[in-house]
Every structure is written in C-alpha cells, then in structure tokens.
Amino acid sequence: MAAETFREPLSRERVLAAAVALVDAEGLQALTMRRLATLLGVEAMSLYYHVRGKDALIDGVVDSVVGEIEAAVAGVDTSGNETDWRGRLRRRFLAARHVMLRHPWAPGLLSSRRSVPVGVYVYYDGILATLVSAGFSYRLAHRALHAFGSLPLGFAQEVFSPAPAAGGDDASEADAAEAEFAAMAEALPHLTAMMETEIHDADDPTLGWCDSQVEFEFTLDLLLNGLERLRASPGDSD
C-alpha cells in the first residue's frame, strides 16, 4: 500500500499567513481567492470556510499585520525604569516600524479599510496606559495620540501623496514625484530644492518616498520631548 502524503489541515491562520506572504512577494493586486487556493493546494471554495470573500480576506490580512505588531511590542524589553515613559513608547513604535518595513504595502492598506481592527484599539490602550501611569491626564494623553498620528503603527503619513498600498516600487514612486516637482521648479523653488536634497536612495529603509528611518525617529523624539515638557508643567496642558 502506498504511503499517504501528509497534508497540513487548512485553517484561517494558514490561509492568512499564505495571503500575507503572497502580498509581500507580488503585491496586493496578486491576491485573489483562486491564486491563494492554488498556492495552498486546495480548491478555491475551500477558502470560504475560513474567509467569507475577498474583502474579508483583506481584512484578515490587516488583522495579521496588526497581530505581528502586537507580538513585536510584547517582545520589546520593558524591564528597565518604569518611569521612563519616553523610552517605553519609543521602543514600542520602533518595534511596530520593523513590522511595517517587512510589509511596505501595509500602511496604505491599513489606512484604506473602512473599520479599525480590534487589535489597533488594544494596542493604543497600551499606549494610553503608559502615558497615564507616567502622570499624563487623559486630556493631554488624548492630544498626544492626535500628535503621534500613525507613528505608533510604525509609519508616517505622506505629506503630498499616500504611500502605495499594493507593494509599489518605492524607487519608481520617488522618480515620478521628483519629475512632477521638477516640471514646476520655477513656480515651486523651495519644494523643488527640498526634493533634490531629501529624496532617498532606493535601498533606504523607507515607507514612502520621504519617510526614512532618520526622519521617523526625529519626529518621534521631537514629540516625546515636547510631551515631557507638558507633562512636567501640568498648567500648560489645560
């Protein structure tokens, strides 16, 4: 009798892990139920037991990335001085950034969804807990969350255009933006000069043409230090 070939049972976790890997390799446009089923070695209809359809699949992909952020943050060493709230948040945000750098399509996709994944609320609740335990009022902590924007999730929103959601080529995006501003150099001399000075190489760890690691950390530290000043002077937060 021929030996039976073992096949790993299909599960929601396995489906979503394969979907994330596919988007990493080929971009969001490659993610279809049929293609995913082929990669998993099953019939497309089998996927519907685990995800209701393409939209639910994409929501699941977003949930998976958020889950990676939660796991990365949980693995950050917070055994140091518990009063060092800036260091704790800085480590959290940079841990999230490592996840986003693995999935450069994720910022655009996360921003495009109609609903906020539950994991995001849990993650931000942890940020609030850190701020409140450090002496921030809920009012000032609320303002801090607005100031942080998307930094807690590991990326910064683009100033002039959104980051591509489908695994676009960062270098080609940068070239297109540079060409567009160059065509308006006379009317926009300062923006053109900034573009020429600040445009990054293709191998720079970017999430969008103008979001380098240095700029991310500069903005983060600027906000953390400013918030510390306000925390130390409660009257300024009213």
Q: Residue 30 pLDDT more than 80?
A: yes
What pLDDT score was predicted for residue 8?
A: 75
| Mean pLDDT confidence for 52-64 | 95
Length of the chain: 238
What pLDDT score was predicted for residue 1?
A: 47
pTM: 0.82
Q: Please state which of the ranges 42-51, 149-158, 193-202, 204-213 shows the lowest mean pLDDT.
A: 193-202
What pLDDT score was predicted for residue 100?
A: 96
| Mean pLDDT confidence for 29-43 | 95
- The overall average pLDDT reported for the chain is 85
Residue type, 152: P
Dihedral angle over CA of 93, 99, 100, 106, nearest 10: -120
Q: Residue 82 pLDDT more than 60?
A: no
What pLDDT score was predicted for residue 6?
A: 52
Q: Are 196 and 99 in contact (CB under 8 A)?
A: no
Q: Are 150 and 109 in contact (CB under 8 A)?
A: no
Q: Are 162 and 108 in contact (CB under 8 A)?
A: yes
Alpha helix positions (H), the chain: 12-26, 33-40, 44-47, 54-74, 85-102, 106-112, 118-133, 138-148, 170-182, 189-198, 213-232
Q: Please state which of the ranges 42-51, 74-83, 180-189, 203-212 shows the lowest mean pLDDT.
A: 74-83
Of 181 and 163, the structure prediction assigns the larger pLDDT to: 181
* Predicted confidence band of residue 85 (pLDDT cuts 50, 70, 90): very high
What pLDDT score was predicted for residue 166?
A: 46
Of 179 and 76, the structure prediction assigns the larger pLDDT to: 76
Q: Are 38 and 63 in contact (CB under 8 A)?
A: no
Residue entry with tokens 């701020």: 131
What pLDDT score was predicted for residue 38?
A: 96
Q: Residue 167 pLDDT more than 50?
A: no
Q: Where are the domains of the chain?
A: 9-51, 69-151+218-238, 170-210
Number of other residues whose CB lies within 10 A of the CB of residue 113: 14
| Mean pLDDT confidence for 149-170 | 69
Tokens representing 217? Answer: 């950390």
Q: How far apart are the C-alpha atoms of 43 and 35, rounded to whole Å?
A: 10
Tokens representing 58? Answer: 């994409």
What pLDDT digit, counting tens, does each position of 115-126 carry?
A: 899 999 999 999
Please say whether the dihedral angle defined by the alpha carbons of residues 207, 209, 212 and 217, taken in this order, is positive or negative.
negative
Phi, psi of 227 (to 5 degrees): -65, -35
CATH number 1.10.10.60 given to 9-51 = yes
